[in-house]
Amino acid sequence: MVAHADTRVVHRGGSKINFRAPVITQDSRFLICVSGECIKVFSTSTEECIHHLQGHKELVTGLVLNPSNHLQVFSCSEDGTIRLWDFTDGILIRVTLLHLKTPSTLHSVPGKRNNCEGCSRGHQCYMHLCYGIIYLCVDYLTSCALCSQGEYVASVKDNVLHVYFLNKKTFYRFALGTSGEMAARNAFTCVACHPKDDCIATGHGDGKIRLWRNFNQEKEYTFSTVHWHHSGVNALCFTPEGTNLLSGGLESVLVQWRYGQEGQKDFLPRLGSSIKEIVVSPDGSLFCTSHTDNKITVIKNCTKVSAVIQGLVHGDGVKTALMVDPRTKALVLNGKPGHLQFYSLQRDQQLYNLDIVQQEYINQSNLDQFEVVKAALDSRGSWLATVEQRSAKEVEISLKLWAFDEHTQSFVLNTTISAPHDGPISEICFSPSSQNSTTLVSVSLDGHFKAWQLTQPDPSDDEEASWSCDFVGDYHSLEPKCCCFSADGSLLAVSFKEVVTVWSPASWDLLTTLSQPPGAIQDLCFGRLSCSKYLLGATDKNLCCWNLLTCSLEWSTALDVSLLLADPLSENVAAFCGAEKTTDLFVFRPSEPRPHFSQQALCTGRVTRAVFAPRDEPLDGCEESSQWLNRSQLYFLTHNMELLTFLTKPEEERLMALSKQVAVLKKHKQEFLHTSCLLFISLFISQFALTLSAIMTLVLSILT
């Protein structure tokens, strides 16, 4: 095994933009948010990403506007640096090294304080910095907030609210009832400070909001309680004038309370998914809510959603296989609950969400709702099959088939089959045949597999073509697990426990059975192109390769394969092997049992979802170990929902060159602006006698 220096595993797209609260600029035109290792600047009106601020080597954990220059932003990261950026031009201005690699956030303090001090008490660690920002280590805290005058910091953890007065360096602790059941429900979830009054609002796990006053002593503090949320309050925020308090939680309803008259409240319901953070622009005209489904909503005038910035949705887990839509080259996977998302990997942007379940999602925990569990696209992208499932008392399944509509450029529901099988469906796949007749095969744990075919209706009826069942197959009443079509669609392999059955889709005859005990077959895959005579099967101990011409075992090797994946454009097959805790990757041709690429300890956890995304133009890399990446790119999802891919050296060089070019361009632009400004001023001084109109024409000429 050779170490491959010329390929490297990288994050490409789909990072969390809801990891920390976004920042709205002073003029409300831009929204800055963290996105993995980089920072993104969005326009609040057009939802467009204007700049990627790249430079941090690790996850960015904090963002704050520079209090002394509102066109600059500070960011801190797990790599232990604080960087200052000009976000209008996307330029890095300064880097400060901290040598402190803990999760942290940044807060700004009004007034100049150039002292640097640290404090540590209990679970808290504060650190003042120059430039008037505060660097907070939040490793142990649930939430913390800084008073706008910079007098105190309020932080919450479990059932305790701590208030630390920065000037007096005194520290108060307020605890709520910690006994019995109350303790769990009483726990603090978030905290916010009033900008004018001495008032701290805290949210709680049982949906209550408490407003604390008179907290500069430990004895005579008071608090009042308001309650609307039915489950925990996740986010609290005061408007800049302090007239309103905004709160949000699992219900995905933004609640606006009048400060002082808490009985009056306004609601903005159905924001999509539960609210994680709420931010208000400095002038109070824009609200931003960041949601758990990696989304930032911009709300104008408290009532209207004006923009939605959507990243790759990281649900509870991707239940469908990763797919690439042949038309848009977008990655297709589970999105919001009950939806499929189409995510463009090139532009790192969600294209659209397809509503599969078409039911109102109820934001409530412990509720069994319909989930999209399987999805399949046919080879030309004109049909999409989805399986949705709800496992309440009895399993409710429905299979839906969607036709691509050229007119609206999206998928339109064609057929709904309710209860297609008696048990959960373990796999669906389309036959790859390119003729008009496409077959869908669904394999279920009820012991049957079914073939579905598009039936053309009589021309006399004005009904559309719809799908109906063509064949039901089983084998010795064993449970089938997976199915796979050969590249030309002439063979269908269905695995029943230890046995692989090979069927002819033309006549639905059982052609042959293959078996290599022990162990049930977990994954099946046909070879492509010159290796199309091979069928690969993975049990939990072995990887077997059968030759279909001789119906005999060609080779087998002991591997714990978690996922087998064939590249549609080459003979290569990728096998992800789950060892103890890490995953190894082997890329090989079925014709020879030796891998021509292998990488050990690819990532932690098992990899169960991966896809070969065809490249627009093939690379011409000549390195033997990276040749398998020439035609398509391999994306895979780790168990904690990170989307990773392989980057080859030539590609990396090209990207570096591109970013340099961009930087040079930016620099040129700045120099030009600088010189033109100087020119203007010098002209203005020297020719003061010129008429106003002449100056105006000059200004115009410079601007154009």
Which residues lie near other proteins (CB under 8 A)?
268-272, 304-305, 355, 358-360, 362, 364, 366-370, 390, 392-394, 396, 418, 472, 474, 510, 512-514, 550-552
Q: How far is the CB of 476 from other proteins (least distance, A)?
A: 9
Q: Which two tokens stand for residue 252?
A: 């995905």
Place of tokens 């649930």: 142
β-bridge partners, 7: 648
Q: How far is the CB of 587 from other proteins (least distance, A)?
A: 29
β-bridge partners, 384: 377, 402
For other proteins, the closer CB: 401 or 637: 401
Distances (CA, A) of 465 to 402, 432, 454, 469: 12, 20, 7, 13
Phi and psi angles of residue 529, each rounded to the nearest 5 degrees, phi first = 50, -120
Q: How far is the CB of 675 from other proteins (least distance, A)?
A: 40
Q: What is the DSSP letter of 130?
A: G
Whether 484 contacts 525, CB under 8 Å? yes
For other proteins, the closer CB: 53 or 268: 268
Q: How far is the CB of 297 from other proteins (least distance, A)?
A: 9
Distances (CA, A) of 458 to 154, 169, 540: 72, 84, 48
Nearest to 559 by CA among 581, 573, 574, 579: 579
Q: How far is the CB of 490 from other proteins (least distance, A)?
A: 17
For other proteins, the closer CB: 149 or 532: 532
- What's the first-to-final CA gap in the chain, in angstroms? 60
Q: How far is the CB of 493 from other proteins (least distance, A)?
A: 14
For other proteins, the closer CB: 280 or 451: 451
Q: ∠ at Cα 151 (145, 155), nearest 5°?
A: 25
Q: How far is the CB of 418 from other proteins (least distance, A)?
A: 7
For other proteins, the closer CB: 366 or 693: 366
Q: Which two tokens stand for residue 637?
A: 């999802």
For other proteins, the closer CB: 360 or 617: 360
For other proteins, the closer CB: 82 or 499: 499
For other proteins, the closer CB: 392 or 692: 392
What type of residue sits at position 320? Answer: T
Q: How far is the CB of 110 from other proteins (least distance, A)?
A: 35
Q: What is the DSSP letter of 242?
A: S
Q: How far is the CB of 472 from other proteins (least distance, A)?
A: 5
Q: Which two tokens stand for residue 416?
A: 């709904």
For other proteins, the closer CB: 251 or 277: 251
CB atoms within 10 A of CB 8: 14
Q: How far is the CB of 134 from other proteins (least distance, A)?
A: 35
DSSP string for 622-684: --GGGGGGSSEEEEEE-TT--EEEEEEHHHHHHHHHHHHHHHHHHHHHHHHHHHHHHHHHHHH
Nearest to 607 by CA among 648, 570, 647, 644: 644
For other proteins, the closer CB: 230 or 639: 230
For other proteins, the closer CB: 507 or 704: 507
For other proteins, the closer CB: 46 or 418: 418
The CA dihedral of 149, 151, 153, 159, to the nearest 10 degrees, is -110
For other proteins, the closer CB: 220 or 509: 509
- What does the alpha-carbon distance between residue 571 and residue 586 come to, in Å, rounded to a whole number? 14
3-state secondary structure of 702: helix
Whether 428 contacts 374, CB under 8 Å? yes
Whether 438 contacts 467, CB under 8 Å? no
Q: How far is the CB of 144 from other proteins (least distance, A)?
A: 30
Q: How far is the CB of 394 from other proteins (least distance, A)?
A: 5
Strand 38-43: give its sheet, edge to edge.
23-24, 30-35, 38-43, 49-53
Q: How far is the CB of 374 from other proteins (least distance, A)?
A: 20
For other proteins, the closer CB: 338 or 432: 338
Q: How far is the CB of 433 from other proteins (least distance, A)?
A: 23
Burial 533-552 (b: 16+ CB within 10 A, else e): bbbbbbbeebbbbbbbeeee
- The 3-class SS string of 175-235 reads ECCCCHHHHHHHCEEEEEECCCCCEEEEEECCCEEEEEECCCCCCCCEEEEEECCCCCEEE
140 conformational bin, left if phi > 0, alpha if psi -120 to 50, beta if neither = alpha
